[in-house]
Amino acid sequence: MTLRRNTFPVPPPKIVPSILSADFRKLEEEVRKAEKGGADMLHFDIMDGHFVPNISFGPMIIKALRSESSLPFIAHLMVEKPEDVVEPVISAGGDVVIFHIEACRYPLRLIDYLRGRGVGVGIALNPATPLSAIKYVLRYADIILLMTVEPGFGGQEFIPEMVDKIRSLRSLMIKQGLQKDIAVDGGVDFNNISSIVYAGANVFVAGTSTFGQSDVEEAVRKLKRIALEAYNALVKRGFGSFRVKP
């Protein structure tokens, strides 16, 4: 989305519980709790054991839950060849497909394919991958996901240096006149989500802080409340919150 004049550059916050941390013995119940708590989307980490050192699940989990929820489904492809996985994911019911820039040789070609299939397009970057890797494709994506832990496993702590990376990405978007979603994935909790909001992120993938809590519904509700409070404070600060280098 192009940033209109006098429009605040950061979209409102969205809380996105990660299925990877849910209790797989009762997934339907877990999803209903997240919905009642105010979840905005659901996040599915598809891992192949090659791009990341873990194997999670495939498109069948998306398909199994598709009829149980009206929330948009984000499919995060942590795989070596995302182009081989996108069609099964879309057919299963994925609404947004996020692929890793490190794993895709022809990102513009894949983006065109996803657009043709009518789904949202996201690009993910690992913590050590510089923002320059998406310089020429940023404009074509709907959402940029920044990994704030090393990908592959849940329950890790947020990497503090990623706050500067989030702020830099938001500043880059403002400089280019773009208002897009910035998602963060990894280590988001009740104590750090405010600082992440202030940095310019607005989509918060959270597993341990949502499905990993004893009261999933209340955990989602609390996380969203904190994010909204921080966002409202950020709006009051205005554009000056982000330094745009010439």
Catalytic center residues: 45, 185
Instruction: Record the tokens describing residue 28, joined without a space.
Output: 């339907």
Quote the strand ranges of the chain, DSSP E. Answer: 14-17, 42-47, 73-78, 96-100, 120-125, 143-147, 181-185, 203-206
Beta bridge partners of residue 183, listed in sequence order: 145, 203
Rounded CA separation 121/41 (Å): 15
Radius of gyration for the alpha carbons in the chain, expressed in angstroms and rounded? 17
